[in-house]
Amino acid sequence: MQNRDAVFLEDFCPKLRDRQWRKSLHSYTAKRCIYCGNASESIDHILPRSKGGLSITENCVPACLSCNGKKSDTEAFYWYRKQRFYDPRRAMAIRAWIDGDISLAMRLLQWAQPKELEKNSKIKWDIKAA
């Protein structure tokens, strides 16, 4: 094991690391709810913690308070398919997110809400109509 030459603040303050992780999740979606596209104010566990879901990037998505509260501890896809704002592109983005393919999730979200993500997203895509 190598000796570290520096001490990082995150090593002593897990809450700071958690806050940075949460901010990075919101930045992926331009601070938009992955379910409905409204402003995201919380992080939702796709597989709820009450059912064994972990607090890892592949299981945590930005969500508005309304979607997070209404979904509660329901299975994400079962709940989402019943919503009037259901969008199959967003459903595919959620599946890609779970599978750890964040770049694919971002492309699918851009197609679902192109103008907002194009302006604010961390990742810029050059997608042209064929």
Which residue, 8, 29, 19, 1, is CA-closest to 109?
Answer: 29
On whether residue 13 sits in a domain, the answer given is no
Q: How confident is the model at residue 53 (pLDDT cuts 50, 70, 90)?
A: very high
Q: What's the domain count of the chain?
A: 1
Query: Quick check: is 51 in a domain?
Result: yes
> Does any domain span residue 31?
yes
Residue 26, both tokens: 């919101």
Beta carbons of 35 and 83 less than 8 angstroms apart:
yes
Is the residue at 50 inside a domain? yes
Kindly indicate the confidence band of residue 130, based on its pLDDT and cuts at 50, 70 and 90: very low
Band of pLDDT at residue 127, cut at 50, 70 and 90: very low
**Containing structural domain, residue 86:** 18-120
The answer to whether position 11 is within a domain reads no
Q: Is residue 8 in some structural domain? A: no
